[in-house]
Amino acid sequence: MNKKYRIGASLLGFILLSTGAMVGCGGNGGGTTSDGEVKEVQIGVVSKGYGNEFAKALAEAYNKTQTGVKVVVKKTTPTATYQDTQLQLGKKKNKIDIFFTVTNTVFSTQSDATLYHWADLSDVYDSVAVGYAEADGVKTIEDLLDPSFVRDFTYSDDKQYSIPWTSGVVGLLYNKTKWDATNANLKSAGKEELTLPKTTDEMFALFDKIKTDDVKSASGNAYAFSYSGQNSYMHFMFNSLWPQYEGKTASENFFEGKNEQGVYTADIYNTKGREYAYDIIRSMILKSNGYVSDGDSTQTYDQEQLSFLRGNALFSCNGDWMEREASANFNPGDADVVLLRTPVMSEIVNNEKIAADFTGTDAEKDAKLSAIVSFIDGNYIDGESEPTEADATSLGVSLTTLEFIHHARLVRHTLPDFVAVIPEYSAELEEAKDFLKFVYSKAGQEIVMQETYGCGAPLTVDYSQMDYYQNGTYYTRSRLDLIKESIPYGNAMNFPMEYLGRIMACAELKIASAFGTTSPKSAATFMKEEYDDYKTTWDTKMELSGVRN
């Protein structure tokens, strides 16, 4: 984006605290009032999986650097609509200056509201990023934010009215402690050890192997997979799969409500990639396949988390908040957990854009796909280079095919809903913005990570420079390592068909009940029902969104 930098003097005035461990803002625009009264910046936190301790710790650290401003956490609540009802109270009744919240209504508020709006935070994005090695040469917070998040948080007027305070990292996990113990037992018994999958065919072959007597004995009867039927996170997996098949342009256009050709159409919900992805999810949790416990369909999310952490299953789907949520009953690090790159869907070889490069039996096609994925992992992710014509030739595919699969390997689902916002009528607007600038400094992010078990803003920095990373759990480090080389997709919130038309990436609340019951639907039937719902209301959604072909 090409915006004029509005670098606040307060950030340039950061000073080291006496501990030498953090950096703070001092002398921000405003400070004490003319009669010497200290200005108070009030924070409200919608406390979900990340809790609220991070906000309290940030306020405490920030206040140590201030003489004329005090930041306090005034309200915490689990109610996701709290910030919207507070905003509508107006300046006289709402005294909350900053909300750390879970919302995808920021842009709809800007569009729909007639009296109250969120403040423009563009100058926070454009302020100096303090403390990071990558910030040498004066880089801004926007420079260090993941470009996908900057795009998704930018409104039609080229301004930002919210800023993401977590990366929303979700996906497929494996219990490394249980995995290593199982392999050790297999090895001592002279049996073949388990290997992590690169493709979904390999994943299901692994799941089948986990069901065998040899592996059951070695693992203590662990299941291949576990999930919560009552709070299904299976859409984390689904939304990491279908963009693999659709490719970059079609996936990005989807969130606008458009197909690959740029046409608004409900047909984006009726594609082979989505049907394949639903079928993979169905196969993972189908009771008759035996990969999951029959009881998983009735588990709540917290029951499932503990079951997985205790080693009752080798794989699961969850988010970066899991260790914090489970910490009351299970100490983080007592079981090593790792976030995996989502296996590339084996059906991708059927995509007409790359199908010509895959011939032979299904097994031969998948073996070739797996070899390409392994090459990508070793050379473009770990080695940080880019696909070349020579590489493609050595792998027996076109450069187009190699680039397509490279994109698929980098895809991850993300939750961009966790945002910080400020009412435009805030009496302490500049002070509130100054505090947000501190939040995105290295010192601020160290605090966030410490209080949320390794979660942080969606930055593109080298996380090995963070103190917390050095002592983090396997789960923490695997998430942060994956963030460095990935392409996040999630409901972006900045397109009218999303924030006004209310289109969503998938019918996430229906997945478990559709596939995890004793009478499961087929993937084709489930997708058709979803498609028919959108097809019936599509014209109305376009009208509400103010868009047209």
Q: What is the pLDDT of residues 95-116, one digit of tens each?
A: 999 999 988 778 888 777 667 8
The per-residue pLDDT for 406 is: 97
pLDDT at 493 over 90: no
What region does 489 belong to: left with phi over 0, alpha with psi -120 to 50, or beta?
Answer: beta
Local structure of 288: helix, strand or coil: helix
Most confident of 8-17, 254-263, 487-496: 254-263
For the chain, give me the number of helices (H) and strands (E)? Answer: 25, 13
How far lies 196's CA from each of 173, 201, 342, in Å? 11, 12, 11
**Per-residue model confidence as pLDDT tens digits over 228-240:** 998 889 999 999 9
Contacts of residue 184, defined as CB under 8 A and 6 or more positions apart, other chains included, come to none
The per-residue pLDDT for 54 is: 96
pLDDT at 27 over 50: no
**Per-residue model confidence as pLDDT tens digits over 395-446:** 999 999 999 999 999 999 998 889 999 999 999 999 999 999 999 999 999 9
pLDDT band at 541 (very low <50, low <70, confident <90, very high): very high
The per-residue pLDDT for 330 is: 87
**Per-residue model confidence as pLDDT tens digits over 275-325:** 999 999 999 999 999 999 999 999 999 999 999 999 999 999 999 999 988
pLDDT band at 31 (very low <50, low <70, confident <90, very high): low
Least confident among 54-58, 135-139, 209-213, 263-267:
135-139
Q: Which of 63, 123, 71 is nearest to 100 (CA)?
A: 71
The per-residue pLDDT for 38 is: 87
The per-residue pLDDT for 477 is: 92
Q: What is the mean pLDDT of residues 57-71?
A: 93
| Domains of the chain and CATH, by start | 9-167+416-485 (3.40.190.10), 170-345 (3.40.190.10)
The per-residue pLDDT for 135 is: 86
pLDDT band at 34 (very low <50, low <70, confident <90, very high): low
CB–CB of 448/455 below 8 Å? yes
The pTM is what?
0.90
Contacts of residue 261, defined as CB under 8 A and 6 or more positions apart, other chains included, come to none
pLDDT at 385 over 90: no
E strands, 233-361, are 313-319, 337-339
In the block, tokens 């854009």 appear at 353
Two tokens at 144?
A: 């260090």
pLDDT at 11 over 80: no
Contacts of residue 81, defined as CB under 8 A and 6 or more positions apart, other chains included, come to none
Alpha helix segments (H runs only) across 411-507 = 429-439, 442-452, 467-471, 474-484, 496-499
How far apart CA 349 and CA 244 sit, in angstroms, is 11
Torsion over CA of 236, 242, 246 and 249, rounded to 10 degrees? Answer: -20
Give the other-Cβ count within 10 Å of 93's Cβ. 8
The per-residue pLDDT for 416 is: 87
The 39-46 sheet, strands edge to edge: 69-77, 39-46, 98-102, 418-421, 163-164
Q: What is the mean pLDDT of residues 500-511?
A: 90
104 versus 66: the higher-pLDDT residue is: 66
509 versus 9: the higher-pLDDT residue is: 509
Q: What is the mean pLDDT of residues 122-130?
A: 96
**Per-residue model confidence as pLDDT tens digits over 319-355:** 999 998 888 888 878 899 999 999 999 999 999 999 9
E strands, 47-97, are 69-77
Q: Which of 277, 261, 407, 293 is nearest to 346 (CA)?
A: 277
pLDDT at 18 over 60: no
Q: Which long-range contacts (CB under 8 A, 24 or more apart) does 397-400 make?
A: 397/354, 397/357, 397/372, 398/354, 398/356, 398/357, 400/353, 400/354
How far apart CA 497 and CA 457 sit, in angstroms, is 26
Q: What is the mean pLDDT of residues 30-48?
A: 78
Give the other-Cβ count within 10 Å of 68's Cβ. 16
Q: Which of 325, 282, 340, 267 is nearest to 503 (CA)?
A: 267
Average pLDDT, the chain: 90
Distance of CA 539 to the CA centre of its chain: 30
| CB burial string 365-393: b at 16+ within 10 A, e below | bbebbbebbebbeebbbeeeeebeeebbe
Q: What is the mean pLDDT of residues 368-392?
A: 92
pLDDT band at 518 (very low <50, low <70, confident <90, very high): confident
- CB-side neighbour CA atoms (13 Å) of 44: 23
CB–CB of 46/78 below 8 Å? yes
